[in-house]
């Protein structure tokens, strides 16, 4: 039997397509679910009008899918896993992990549209195809890093950026300053050298004069 699809169905056709299906599949599933309409010789004109309206809706759907494709192509998912030798990780990154990560970013993608053949079990970078709308596909980038590796690299960079510690040189003690007493300073108790040199001859003269006094009258 011939039907017109009111909705796009994977592996069957797009909205507005007129296709042939098994009568049982059409009458027992597609038509009761209002997914399709039967095409007969009596409803040809009505089907043409429906098809035109469905095609317009399909164009809007395609525009929406194109926006989703662009967003997916710009997406990079990062997972951290514990790893052993040869980058083998404990556990895996599965389709469910990818689906949940995309959902957290606001992109609802069915698990069957994430084309991952088998769970990822090694560290590294991957490209995962996503089936968006029939033949339209996107590709997301996926990184599986060793758990704690980002933190270790960040700590290493911080240590590398720290300037070397230079020991401080001891501050030299100031040398003692020999103060010279001002001769004019009245409070000074020290006698200037000039004064000593000037008074010394006078003292010597006094001593000589005292020694040459007139002899005692007894000698007369």
pLDDT of residue 217: 45
Confidence of residue 170 (pLDDT cuts 50, 70, 90): low
Which CATH number belongs to the domain containing residue 23 in this structure?
A: 3.40.5.10
CA 50/CA 44 separation, integer angstroms: 10
Question: What local confidence, expressed as pLDDT, does residue 164 receive?
Answer: 62
The pLDDT, as a whole number, for residue 195 is: 46
Identify whether the C-beta of residue 40 lies closer than 8 Å to the C-beta of residue 58: no
Residue 85 lies in a domain: yes
CA torsion through residues 203, 205, 211, 216, sign = negative
Q: 94-122 pLDDT, tens per residue?
A: 999 999 999 999 999 999 999 999 999 99
Q: What percent of the chain has pLDDT over 70?
A: 67
Q: Are 150 and 24 in contact (CB under 8 A)?
A: no
Token readout for 92 is 């895996």
pLDDT of residue 179: 52
In a domain, 114, yes or no: yes
**Helix (H/G/I), strand (E/B), else coil: 120:** strand
DSSP bridge pairs for 37? 4
**In the predicted structure, residue 129 carries a pLDDT above the cut 60:** yes
Determine which helix (DSSP H) or strand (DSSP E) holds 128, and give its type and residue range. Answer: strand 124-133
Q: From 152, 177, 210, give the residue that closes a domain.
A: 152
CB 36 within 8 A of CB 6: yes
99 and 36: one domain? no
pLDDT tens figures, 30-49: 999 999 999 998 998 999 99
Domain that holds residue 112: 75-152
- CA–CA separation, 51 and 57 (whole Å): 10
Q: What was the pLDDT predicted at 79?
A: 95
Task: Provide the pLDDT for residue 8.
Answer: 87
What average pLDDT does range 164-172 have in this prediction? 63
What percent of the chain has a predicted confidence (pLDDT) above 90?
A: 49
Asked if residue 134 is part of any domain, the answer here is yes
Closest listed residue to residue 72, CA positions, set 7, 150, 133: 133
Which two tokens mark 192? 């200037």
Q: What is the count of structural domains for the chain?
A: 2
The band of 1, judged by pLDDT with boundaries at 50, 70 and 90, is very high
Q: Average pLDDT, stretch 10-27?
A: 91
In-domain check, residue 19? yes
């Amino acid at each position: 039997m011939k039907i017109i699809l009111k909705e796009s169905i994977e592996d069957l056709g797009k909205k507005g397509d007129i296709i042939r299906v098994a009568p049982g599949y059409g009458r027992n599933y597609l038509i009761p679910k209002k997914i399709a309409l039967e095409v007969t010789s009596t409803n040809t004109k009505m089907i043409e009008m429906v098809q035109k309206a469905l095609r317009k809706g399909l164009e809007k759907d395609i525009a929406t899918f194109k926006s989703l494709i662009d967003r997916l192509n710009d997406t990079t998912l990062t997972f951290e896993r514990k790893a052993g030798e040869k980058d083998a990780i404990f556990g895996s990154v599965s389709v469910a992990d990818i689906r949940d990560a995309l959902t957290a970013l606001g992109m609802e993608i069915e698990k069957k549209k994430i084309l991952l053949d088998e769970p990822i079990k090694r560290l590294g970078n991957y490209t995962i195809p996503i089936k968006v709308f029939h033949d339209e596909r996107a590709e997301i980038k996926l990184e599986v890093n060793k758990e704690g590796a980002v933190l270790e690299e960040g700590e290493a960079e911080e240590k590398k950026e720290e300037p070397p510690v230079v020991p401080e040189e001891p501050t030299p003690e100031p040398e003692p300053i020999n103060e010279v007493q001002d001769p004019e300073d009245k409070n000074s108790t020290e006698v200037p050298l000039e004064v000593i040199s000037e008074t010394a001859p006078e003292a010597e003269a006094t001593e000589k004069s005292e020694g040459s006094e007139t002899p005692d009258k007894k000698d007369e």
